């Protein structure tokens, strides 16, 4: 069953009230917001969805129909269900006049005290107990709060459009992320230099913040965030490497996107995505720079291992985020109350 057929299928029991999806749509490269338009598209024909932003939306999001909440003009979610796309999303007194039937919060950023305060605030403003949707088990355990673990909704179609790339020579290792330092581990610079010295090609999209240390290093290419679509960038890699610094990745959808694209993943054990990876089976989980170097070297030297991990990673991504997984996830958002 293809994703297009799931999205297009009409439901005879679609709720009459809308689903409001409220995010902070100022940055086109932030993963926390990317799933909200995907969710609206997946629910097309099943439930009316309205996308809202707590700030002036980026032009690309505005073109998707994202509206700005403007309480002074009477423009804010009313009736139906409201999904708050994270604790970083702003609300206000307009909640008292929203007359909502249901209220849910996506917990996708590690700000635990803020979540606790937000749940109390939302209940006070609306009279509803918010339903918390955690993007990973590690996020739920961190706060010890009732709720449901629901990985980020990812539309895999662009990443599945081509066969897993064959391993190239020289091996190309890369990653992509928002272009901020805390998305990169302090030891990544040394790892990239070490790999480049071994003849490995390094491609980093969203890493201009590392330019003071890597610019001009032979074999290292740095691209601005969004220089090309993620699926196209991933198709040019042989290995996807990912770990963060002070920022603990709540889920890390880009890791699952790389797996769906058929690119073997070498990633830190520290992150929500690690719950979805079987070390040595469909990817590699590492705890040090030495382990990262060894895993990449193994994939460089062993074509059979590279192919095995690529195919297993793609199969796992489809199991976790494919059509059937999306169908189960949508059920929650199609309920009236």
Strands (E), the chain: 19-23, 49-53, 67-68, 81-84, 102-107, 131-134, 148-149, 172-176, 201-205, 220-223, 239-242, 265-268, 284-286
pLDDT at 335: 85
Specify the pLDDT at position 169.
86
Sheet holding 131-134, edge to edge: 67-68, 49-53, 19-23, 81-84, 102-107, 131-134, 148-149
Domains, in order of start, for the chain: 3-154+322-333 (3.40.50), 157-320 (3.40.50.2000)
Where on the phi/psi map is residue 267: left (φ > 0), alpha (ψ -120 to 50), or beta? beta
Asked if 152 contacts 317 with a C-beta cutoff of 8 angstroms, the reply is: no
Distances (CA, A) of 190 to 53, 112, 187, 207, 290: 39, 32, 6, 14, 11
- C-alpha angle 203/207/208, rounded to 5°? 115
Bond from prior residue into 91 cis (ω within 30 degrees of 0): no
d(CA 79, CA 191): 52
The confidence score (pLDDT) of residue 14 equals 63
Cβ-based neighbours of 269, under 8 Å, separated by 6 or more = 285, 286, 287
Q: How far is CA 27 from CA 15, 49, 55, 57, 60, in A?
A: 31, 21, 10, 8, 9
C-beta of residue 262 within 8 angstroms of C-beta of residue 311: yes
* Closest residue by Cα to residue 175 from 152, 209, 124, 150: 209
Phi, psi of 9 (to 5 degrees): -65, 130
| Token digits of residue 267 | 């990633």
Whole-model pTM over 0.75? yes
pLDDT attached to residue 337: 66
Residue of 78, 86, 19 whose CA lies nearest to 333: 19
pLDDT score for 173: 98
pLDDT of residue 9: 43
The confidence score (pLDDT) of residue 59 equals: 95
Taking only the tens of pLDDT, the chain with its 337 residues reads 444 444 444 444 667 899 999 999 998 887 778 889 999 999 999 999 999 999 999 999 999 999 999 999 999 999 999 999 999 999 999 999 999 999 999 999 899 999 999 999 999 999 999 999 999 999 999 999 999 999 989 999 999 997 777 788 899 999 999 999 999 999 999 999 999 999 999 999 999 999 999 999 999 999 999 999 999 999 999 999 999 988 889 999 999 999 999 999 999 999 999 999 999 999 999 999 999 999 999 999 999 999 999 999 999 999 999 999 999 999 999 987 6
């Amino acid at each position: 069953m293809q994703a297009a057929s799931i999205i297009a299928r009409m439901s005879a029991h679609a709720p009459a009230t809308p689903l409001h999806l409220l995010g902070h749509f100022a940055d086109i490269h932030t993963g926390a917001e990317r799933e909200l338009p995907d969710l609206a598209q997946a629910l097309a024909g099943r439930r009316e969805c309205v996308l809202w932003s707590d700030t002036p939306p980026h032009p690309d999001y505005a073109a998707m129909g994202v509206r700005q909440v403007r309480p002074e003009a009477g423009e804010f979610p009313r009736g139906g269900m409201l999904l708050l796309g994270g604790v970083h999303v702003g609300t206000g007194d307009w909640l008292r006049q929203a007359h909502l039937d249901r209220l849910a919060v996506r917990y996708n950023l590690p700000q635990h005290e803020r979540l606790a305060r937000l749940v109390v605030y939302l209940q006070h403003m609306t009279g509803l107990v918010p339903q918390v949707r955690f993007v990973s088990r590690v996020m739920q355990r961190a706060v010890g709060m009732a709720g449901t673990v629901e990985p980020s909704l990812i539309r895999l179609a662009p990443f599945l459009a081509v066969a897993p790339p064959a391993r190239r020579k020289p091996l190309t290792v890369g990653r992509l992320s928002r272009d901020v330092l805390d998305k990169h581990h302090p030891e990544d610079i040394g790892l990239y230099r070490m790999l480049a010295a071994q003849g490995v090609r390094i491609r980093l999209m969203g890493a201009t913040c590392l330019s003071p240390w890597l610019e001009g290093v032979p074999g290292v290419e740095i691209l601005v965030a969004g220089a090309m679509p993620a699926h196209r960038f991933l198709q040019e890699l042989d290995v996807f490497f990912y770990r963060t610094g002070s920022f603990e990745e709540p889920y890390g959808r880009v890791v699952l996107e790389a797996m769906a694209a058929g690119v073997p993943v070498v990633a830190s054990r520290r992150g929500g995505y690690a719950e979805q990876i079987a070390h040595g089976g469909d990817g590699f989980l590492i705890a040090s720079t030495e382990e990262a170097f060894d895993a990449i070297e193994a994939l460089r030297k062993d074509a059979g291992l590279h192919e095995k991990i690529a195919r297993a990673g793609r199969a796992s991504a489809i199991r976790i985020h494919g059509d059937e997984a999306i169908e189960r996830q949508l059920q929650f958002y199609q309920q009236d109350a």
